[in-house]
C-alpha cells in the first residue's frame, strides 16, 4: 500500500469515476492509475469500485468506507505538506521572543537589529513578563524562546543554555561620597536608602542573599522592574541604585556614575530557553548565535537531545 494508490482512489471519485481524467489531473497514465487501484483492491481483499467491463461506475459498500479512510489520510498528508512548506521557507515566517524588560531594553536591540538585517521577511514579536511568566509562554507555545536571568533554569520541559555573564553596578549622583571609596562594601551601601529591582528581576535574589550573609538589612526605598525608573529616582536624590551593568551607559546616563559591584553580588548569567522537543527554524538558531556567540546549532541541538545537560560559560 502506498500514497499513490490512495491518491488515485480519491481522484477517481473526484473525476466522477473517469480514470482518464483522474490520470490527467495527477499527471500520470490511465493504465497506471487502473493498475494501482486493482493492486490496492487485491491487498485489501475487497472491491473498492463497481465495474461494467473495464470501466468503473461507482463505489461498493466497503469502497465507501475505504474512501472515508483515504480522505482522512490524505487530509493529514495535506496538513503535513503545509507544515513542511511553512518551515521550509527558512528566511520568512514568525518568531516570538519572551523576555524580561531588562533584556528587551538593554541587551536585545542590537541583536534584533542585526537579525532583521539578515532576515527582513521574518515577523518578530517581543513579549515581556517576569521570568516565571515568560517560561510559561514557551511551555504553552506562545513564544519560541525565552531570555532571562532568574528562574528559567530547571523549569520543566524547557532546555536552557547560558548566553552571557554580567554584574551589578551601584549608580549614584556625580558628587556622591561612595565615589571616594576604593572598593565599596555592603556596609557602605546599606548606609543609604536603596532603590533596586523587584524581587523577581535582574539578579535581585543575589543582592538580597549578599546582604543577608552579612547580617545587614538595607533600607530599600523603592523596587522597580525597570532600570530607567531606578536611575530616575537616583537622579532625584532619593537614594542610591543597584542595577544590571548592561543598563548603564556613560554617554546616555551622564548625570550618574556607576560603581562596579561584582565583587559584592557575584556574576549573573542570562540564559536562553526553548521548549524540549520543539522544532526550531534555522533563523532561530541564527538569532541565538547572534545573542550568544559561544553557542552554535550543534551545541543547541545536543542540549535539546539531552546530550549536554550542564553546559556553562
Give the CATH number of the domain where residue 19 resides. 1.10.10.10
- Please tell me whether residues 155 and 126 are part of one structural domain: yes
Residue span of the structural domain in which 264 resides? 165-268
152 and 277 part of one domain: yes
Cβ distance 191 to 177 under 8 Å?
no
Q: Is residue 310 part of a domain?
A: no
Contact between 143 and 137 under an 8 Å Cβ cutoff? The reply is yes
DSSP SS3 for 92? strand
Does 313 reside within a domain? Answer: no
If phi > 0 it is left, if psi is from -120 to 50 it is alpha, else beta; for residue 143 that is: beta
The reported pLDDT for the residue numbered 54 is 82
Instruction: Say whether both 106 and 72 belong to one domain.
Output: no
**Chain-wide mean pLDDT for the chain?**
89
pLDDT tens for residues 186-245? 999 999 999 999 887 767 888 999 999 999 999 999 999 889 999 999 999 999 999 999
Q: Is 123 exposed, middle or buried (0-12, 13-18, 19+ CB in 10 A)?
A: exposed
Q: Does residue 252 sit in the same domain as residue 203? A: yes
Q: Is there a domain that residue 121 lies in? A: yes
- Residues 20-79 have pLDDT tens digits of 999 999 999 999 999 999 999 999 999 999 998 888 999 999 999 999 999 889 878 876
Q: Are 174 and 155 found together in one domain?
A: no
Cell numbers given for 4: 499513490
Give which of 140, 110, 139, 109 is closest to 126, Cα–Cα: 109
Q: For residue 147, what are the contacts with CB-CB under 8 A and spacing of at least 6? A: 97, 98, 99, 100, 103, 107, 108, 134, 163, 270, 271, 272, 273, 291
CATH number of the structural domain spanning residue 132: 3.40.190.10
In a domain, 311, yes or no: no
Q: Are residues 41 and 76 in the same domain?
A: yes
> Do 57 and 178 lie in a common domain?
no
Q: pTM (2 decimals)?
A: 0.66
Between 86-90, 143-147, 156-160, the lowest mean confidence (pLDDT) is in 86-90
Is residue 85 very low, low, confident or very high in pLDDT (cuts 50, 70, 90)? low
- Whether 157 and 174 map to the same domain: the answer is no
Would you say residue 253 lies in a domain? yes
Q: How many domains does the chain have?
A: 3
Amino acid at each position: 500500500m502506498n500514497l499513490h494508490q490512495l491518491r488515485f482512489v480519491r481522484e477517481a471519485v473526484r473525476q466522477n469515476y473517469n480514470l482518464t481524467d483522474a490520470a490527467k489531473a495527477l499527471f500520470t497514465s490511465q493504465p497506471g492509475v487502473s493498475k494501482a487501484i486493482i493492486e490496492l483492491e487485491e491487498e485489501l481483499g475487497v472491491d473498492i469500485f463497481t465495474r461494467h467491463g473495464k470501466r468503473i461506475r461507482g463505489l461498493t459498500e466497503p469502497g465507501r468506507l475505504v474512501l472515508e479512510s483515504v480522505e482522512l489520510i490524505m487530509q493529514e498528508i495535506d496538513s503535513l505538506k503545509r507544515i513542511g512548506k511553512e518551515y521550509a521557507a527558512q528566511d520568512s515566517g514568525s518568531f516570538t521572543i519572551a523576555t524580561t524588560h531588562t533584556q528587551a531594553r538593554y541587551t536585545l536591540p542590537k541583536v534584533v537589529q542585526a537579525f532583521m538585517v539578515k532576515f527582513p521577511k521574518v515577523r518578530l514579536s517581543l513579549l515581556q513578563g517576569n521570568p516565571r511568566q515568560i517560561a510559561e509562554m514557551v511551555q504553552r507555545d506562545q513564544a519560541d524562546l525565552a531570555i532571562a536571568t532568574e528562574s528559567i533554569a530547571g523549569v520543566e520541559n524547557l532546555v536552557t543554555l547560558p548566553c552571557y555573564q554580567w554584574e551589578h553596578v551601584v549608580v549614584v549622583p556625580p558628587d556622591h561620597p561612595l565615589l571616594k571609596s576604593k572598593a565599596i562594601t555592603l556596609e557602605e551601601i546599606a548606609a543609604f536608602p536603596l532603590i533596586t529591582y523587584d524581587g523577581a528581576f535582574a539578579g535581585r535574589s543575589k543582592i538580597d542573599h549578599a546582604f543577608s550573609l552579612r547580617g545587614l538589612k538595607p533600607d530599600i526605598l523603592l523596587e522597580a522592574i525597570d532600570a530607567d525608573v531606578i536611575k530616575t529616582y537616583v537622579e532625584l536624590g532619593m537614594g542610591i541604585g543597584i542595577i544590571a551593568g548592561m543598563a548603564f551607559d556613560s554617554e546616555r546616563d551622564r548625570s550618574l556614575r556607576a560603581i562596579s559591584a561584582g565583587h559584592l553580588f557575584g556574576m549573573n548569567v542570562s540564559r536562553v530557553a526553548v521548549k524540549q522537543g520543539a522544532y526550531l527554524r534555522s533563523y532561530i538558531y541564527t538569532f541565538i548565535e547572534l545573542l550568544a556567540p559561544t553557542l552554535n546549532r550543534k551545541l543547541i541541538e545536543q542540549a535539546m537531545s539531552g546530550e549536554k545537560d550542564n553546559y556553562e560559560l
